[in-house]
Amino acid sequence: MEWETVIGLEIHAQLSTTSKIFSGAATAYGAAPNTQACAVDIALPGVLPVMNKGAVERAIKFGLAIGANINRESVFARKNYFYPDLPKGYQISQYELPIVGKGDITIQVGDQEKVVGITRAHLEEDAGKSLHEDFHGMTGVDLNRASTPLLEIVSEPDMRSSAEAVAYAKTMHSLVQYLDICDGNMQEGSFRCDANVSVRPKGTEKFGTRCEIKNLNSFRFLERAIEYEVVRQIDILESGGKIAQETRLYDSDKDETRAMRSKEEAFDYRYFPDPDLLPMKLSAEMIAEIQKTLPELPDAKRRRFIQQYGLSSYDAAVLTATKAMAAYFENVVNSVGAPNAKTAANWVMGDLAGVLKRDSLEITHSPVPADKLAGLVARIADNTISGKIAKEVFEAMWNGEGDADAIIESKGLKQITDSGAIEKIIDGIIAANPEQLAQYRSGKDKLFSFFVGQAMKATQGKANPQQLHDLLKKKLAG
């Protein structure tokens, strides 16, 4: 039987406020355990939560960006469960009335576009952390993370493959960073996904029973976990078994998912409105003010790049993946002019991205800044150097040897465009290789590249490739 995968994602994005969602304690990552947990966070008797306006503003910003309805009144609820890293015995979350209602987002999978529905997004507090590795035979509890603001973004079960799920997660990851509401740091847990996965016979309507894989903190783990889970579920169903609805963990060392607990239902949590927090009412003015602060969103930027610079949809998607990369690219184009946008795009996505990755650098810390790369692209555009020689120049720029013009000058890399000079070189090569010439003229076309190679060698790669090609064709024909 052929099976179809169905995936819905819950994403937890830590909101980038300096203080916590219900207390004044700091949210900064990496402090010594329990140094950033105040009386509210550790749930001493008699304390009361106070809503952080910065968290609310960020949630609204997100809602507006996905075209969702912002609920003018929303309610905080207690989600009751027991765990050592949750000192209150409940998590303050939103249940029946979340701040952000239905919206959607467009994702790009290969060269296909797809719209994924967002069911809701709600505000909640994070829990602390249990430290299982630091103390032998014991578990430590660090409450620094307790009460850090989270936006939980729940998608519709609209994705049909791990590739779509990864594309969706990447799009969200890029969006929250564009909006400046989350730092997106996945290693530090600022952005993590739960994947709900089920399978159904292809062509049928009814969803299969899902499993939820918790806390995936890299795109690669998200992909691997889904792939493993799909195979596991199909195996069970094809051998006549049933899928148990459960929460599972992905073990990246073993590359498999494991059952964690059977799935709890909403009633297990005994949700009820938190009596310590009033229903949250938002004014139309507040929402309108936030609307004004929305930046150009990735999707709009991508469309503009296609239209304004004539880029392919793929190139535009790569270049707008982060705000910093898009800004870098536009700085290069502003200086070399839109007709050279494609060359600029190739350099940013190719050589530059390659060395940034190799040297683990962010584009904002590139040793070759945008105006310097523009200097190189300009020399390719005006035929001073060929694209091939440009790679050598770029490597030297990267190593701090100066800007493009200085390097071209000092290394003597200027392209030879004087056709008389190129002709002379060709004549010499033809004269020195009579045998190859005869073979070429008797139909061995492949030898053309032999002559190109000889000429390039003679000019240290500096002959203008197009001129060389044309002149060689002419001369070899006799």
Footprint of ligand ADP (CB under 6 A): 6-10, 154-157, 196-198, 207-208, 210, 212
Q: How far is the CB of 149 from Mg ion (least distance, A)?
A: 19
Q: How far is the CB of 119 from ligand ADP (least distance, A)?
A: 6
103 binds, among ligand ADP, Mg ion, none (CB under 5 to 8 A by kind): none
Closer to ligand ADP by CB, 9 or 99: give it: 9
Cβ neighbours for 376, distance < 8 A, ≥ 6 positions apart = 347, 390, 393, 394, 397, 404
Closer to ligand ADP by CB, 63 or 208: give it: 208
Q: How far is the CB of 263 from Mg ion (least distance, A)?
A: 9
> Of all residues in this chain, which one has the CB nearest to ligand ADP in the complex?
8
Q: How far is the CB of 98 from ligand ADP (least distance, A)?
A: 10
Q: How far is the CB of 98 from Mg ion (least distance, A)?
A: 14
SS3 annotation, the chain: CCEEEEEEEEEEEECCCCECCCCCCECCCCCCCCCCCCCCCCCCCCCCCCCCHHHHHHHHHHHHHCCCCECCEECEEEEECCCCCCCCCEEEEECCCCCECCEEEEEEECCEEEEEEEEEEEEEECCCEEECCCCCCCCEEECCCCCCEEEEEEECCCECCHHHHHHHHHHHHHHHHHCCCCCCCCCCCCEEEEEEEEEEECCCCCCCCCEEEEEECCHHHHHHHHHHHHHHHHHHHHCCCCCCCEEEEEECCCCEEEEEEECCCHHHHCCEECCCCCCEECCHHHHHHHHHCCCCCHHHHHHHHHHHHCCCHHHHHHHCCCHHHHHHHHHHHHHHCHHHHHHHHHHHHHHHHHHHHHCCCCHHHCCCCHHHHHHHHHHHHCCCCCHHHHHHHHHHHHCCCCCHHHHHHHCCCCCECCHHHHHHHHHHHHHHCHHHHHHHHCCCHHHHHHHHHHHHHHCCCCECHHHHHHHHHHHHHC
Contact assessment for residue 50 and residue 262, using Cβ atoms and an 8 Å cutoff? no
209-248 residues near Mg ion, rule: CB under 5 A: none
The candidate with the shortest Cα–Cα distance to 99, out of 51, 48, 49, is 51
319/341 Cα distance (integer angstroms): 12
392 binds, among ligand ADP, Mg ion, none (CB under 5 to 8 A by kind): none
Closer to ligand ADP by CB, 4 or 405: give it: 4
154 binds, among Mg ion, ligand ADP, none (CB under 5 to 8 A by kind): ligand ADP
Closer to ligand ADP by CB, 197 or 290: give it: 197
Closer to ligand ADP by CB, 35 or 69: give it: 69
Closer to ligand ADP by CB, 180 or 264: give it: 264
Q: How far is the CB of 250 from ligand ADP (least distance, A)?
A: 16
406-465 residues near Mg ion, rule: CB under 5 A: none
Closer to Mg ion by CB, 10 or 256: give it: 10
Closer to ligand ADP by CB, 157 or 273: give it: 157
157 binds, among ligand ADP, Mg ion, none (CB under 5 to 8 A by kind): ligand ADP
Q: How far is the CB of 207 from ligand ADP (least distance, A)?
A: 3
> Of all residues in this chain, which one has the CB nearest to Mg ion in the complex?
10
Q: How far is the CB of 13 from ligand ADP (least distance, A)?
A: 15
375 binds, among Mg ion, ligand ADP, none (CB under 5 to 8 A by kind): none
80/476 Cα distance (integer angstroms): 84
Q: How far is the CB of 256 from ligand ADP (least distance, A)?
A: 19
Closer to Mg ion by CB, 10 or 423: give it: 10
58 binds, among Mg ion, ligand ADP, none (CB under 5 to 8 A by kind): none
5-64 residues near Mg ion, rule: CB under 5 A: 10
Q: How far is the CB of 211 from ligand ADP (least distance, A)?
A: 9
6 binds, among ligand ADP, Mg ion, none (CB under 5 to 8 A by kind): ligand ADP
Closer to ligand ADP by CB, 104 or 212: give it: 212
Residues that bind Mg ion (CB under 5 A): 10
